């Protein structure tokens, strides 16, 4: 009887996953417009439209926009009411992840005057919307800001960029280009003091609201680690749904998600010894990039990562990348606790990986470098309205 019940549950899960994939395939996705020749007119300036503040902007675009040979650039919040006053002639409009009705209307109105339109995304939003982990509120937000605007925006898009080859494949279309993470050094440099010898060893898991399954995986892992090593404290970021999973676990502090600027400042000044980064198999996770490496380096920590498209296969290199088996994770974390040299080697390996990301920024955005207008334009920021002082959502 129990065997039949398990088979039935497995069948239901497979059916639901298949239904979710079918629905995701019907959702809008960014596409390059069908034209015989793409826009190639000189670019006087780039205006990036983003929902500010935005980790995607900092992890992928800010340093690239400052690269040698790139046109002058500025950023406008998609909620800014002064978008209608922006200079359109010679402007390349780059939409970062989200758009508003005001942004799309401005592009509709000024399309013939623009030097082009691009779209960048670092998430398979359709997979997140139809997946199992996101809250209803976040799904509605992704639809309203991330997916619904594409119905109009795609009529103008000349370039689509994504973070990973898997995400490009999920989006589809031969015109999709890859822009992997390329953070500026100030995004990952730590200002935290060195650990005191008498301080407890600190392990952290900083998750967003779309990683409920990862919380469930990690709870028994960290419960056992804390039992085995009383000199360890653990900090986990968890929303209302995940918080209950961590109740009653001694030396586990649960903190609420915060805004991106607050998180960035906090992790610059606080140090962790180990940061755990579980990533379970799902359509959304398959498309993710390894941006958590950046957070690990900023915290000065050794990372423990899931073997995945984002972080590579399980290996015996200095960077700790593991298959998702709880006993393997417990053993690896305990080994890092007991071996300061192994922690240092792991931290150094991840730091080298992030330094290689930063080196990518010097290339700028190749499709746009060659189109820089060599005549001296007015500075881009003179054409940009100031971002509205609106509080950011919890980082996601």
pLDDT at 31: 87
Whether 33 and 145 map to the same domain: the answer is yes
Tally of domains in the chain: 2
Whether 256 and 354 map to the same domain: the answer is yes
Q: What is the CATH number of the domain that holds 317?
A: 3.40.50.2000
| Residue 222 included in any domain | yes
Whether 245 and 107 map to the same domain: the answer is no
Whether 201 and 345 map to the same domain: the answer is yes
State which residues of the chain have pLDDT below 50.
Answer: 8, 10-17, 19-20, 36-37, 376-396
Q: What is the CATH number of the domain that holds 149?
A: 3.40.50
pLDDT at 2: 55
Alpha-carbon gap, residue 53 to 246, rounded angstroms: 29
Whether 224 and 335 map to the same domain: the answer is yes
Whether 196 and 214 map to the same domain: the answer is yes
Alpha-carbon gap, residue 299 to 42, rounded angstroms: 41
| Residue 391 included in any domain | no
Token pair 């439209």 is found at 49
pLDDT at 385: 39
Residue 137 burial (10 A CB sphere; 0-12, 13-18, 19+): exposed
262-315, pLDDT tens digit by residue?
Answer: 999 999 999 999 999 999 999 989 999 999 999 999 999 999 999 999 999 987
| Residue 112 included in any domain | yes
Nearest to 64 by CA among 355, 298, 366, 295: 366
Tell me the whole-structure pTM to 2 decimals. 0.87
Whether 105 and 215 map to the same domain: the answer is no
19-32, pLDDT tens digit by residue?
Answer: 445 565 568 888 88
| Residue 45 included in any domain | yes
Whether 217 and 202 map to the same domain: the answer is yes
Alpha-carbon gap, residue 257 to 130, rounded angstroms: 23
Whether 246 and 329 map to the same domain: the answer is yes
| Residue 22 included in any domain | no
pLDDT at 39: 59
Alpha-carbon gap, residue 59 to 105, rounded angstroms: 27
Alpha-carbon gap, residue 106 to 93, rounded angstroms: 10
Whether 141 and 76 map to the same domain: the answer is yes
Which tokens hold the place of 200?
A: 């407890």
Whether 226 and 315 map to the same domain: the answer is yes
Beta bridge partners of 50: 77
Whether 123 and 261 map to the same domain: the answer is no
| Residue 258 included in any domain | yes
Domain span holding position 39: 29-179+365-383
Sort strands 73-77 and 159-162 into parallel, antiparallel or unpaired: unpaired
Phi/psi-derived region of residue 364, left when phi > 0, alpha when psi is between -120 and 50, beta in every other case: left
| Residue 208 included in any domain | yes
| Residue 11 included in any domain | no
Which tokens hold the place of 124?
A: 């398979």
């Amino acid at each position: 009887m129990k065997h039949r019940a398990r088979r039935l549950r497995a069948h239901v899960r497979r059916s639901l996953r298949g239904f979710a994939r079918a629905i995701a395939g019907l959702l809008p996705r960014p596409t390059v417009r069908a034209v015989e020749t793409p826009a190639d007119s000189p670019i006087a300036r780039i205006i990036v439209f983003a929902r500010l503040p935005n980790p995607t902007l900092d992890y992928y675009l800010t340093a690239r926009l400052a690269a040698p040979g790139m046109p002058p650039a500025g950023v406008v919040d998609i909620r800014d009411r002064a978008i209608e006053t922006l200079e359109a002639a010679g402007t390349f409009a780059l939409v970062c992840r989200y758009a508003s009705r005001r942004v799309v209307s401005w592009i509709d109105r000024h399309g013939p005057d623009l030097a082009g339109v691009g779209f960048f995304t670092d998430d398979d939003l359709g997979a997140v919307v139809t997946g199992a982990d996101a809250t209803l509120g976040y799904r509605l937000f992704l639809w309203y800001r991330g997916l619904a605007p594409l119905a109009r925006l795609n009529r103008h898009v000349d370039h689509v960029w994504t973070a990973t080859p898997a995400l490009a494949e999920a989006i589809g279309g031969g015109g999709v280009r890859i822009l992997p993470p390329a953070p500026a050094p100030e995004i990952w440099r730590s200002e935290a003091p060195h650990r005191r010898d008498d301080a407890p060893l600190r392990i952290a898991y900083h998750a967003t609201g779309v990683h409920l399954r990862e919380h469930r995986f990690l709870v028994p892992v960290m419960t056992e680690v804390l039992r085995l090593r009383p000199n360890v404290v653990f900090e986990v970021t968890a929303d209302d749904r995940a918080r209950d999973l961590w109740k009653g676990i001694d030396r586990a502090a649960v903190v609420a998600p915060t805004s991106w600027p607050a998180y960035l400042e906090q992790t610059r000044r606080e140090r962790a010894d180990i940061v755990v980064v579980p990533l379970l198999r799902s359509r959304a996770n398959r498309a993710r990039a390894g941006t958590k490496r950046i957070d690990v380096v900023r915290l000065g920590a050794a990372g423990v990562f899931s073997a995945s498209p984002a972080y590579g296969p399980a290996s015996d290199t200095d960077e700790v990348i593991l298959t998702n088996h709880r006993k393997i994770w417990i053993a690896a974390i305990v080994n890092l606790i007991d071996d300061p040299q192994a922690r240092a080697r792991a931290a150094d390996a991840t730091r080298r990986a992030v330094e290689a990301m930063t080196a990518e920024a010097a290339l700028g955005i190749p499709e746009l470098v060659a189109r820089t207008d060599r005549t001296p334009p007015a500075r881009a920021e003179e054409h940009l309205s100031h971002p509205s002082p609106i509080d950011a959502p919890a980082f996601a």
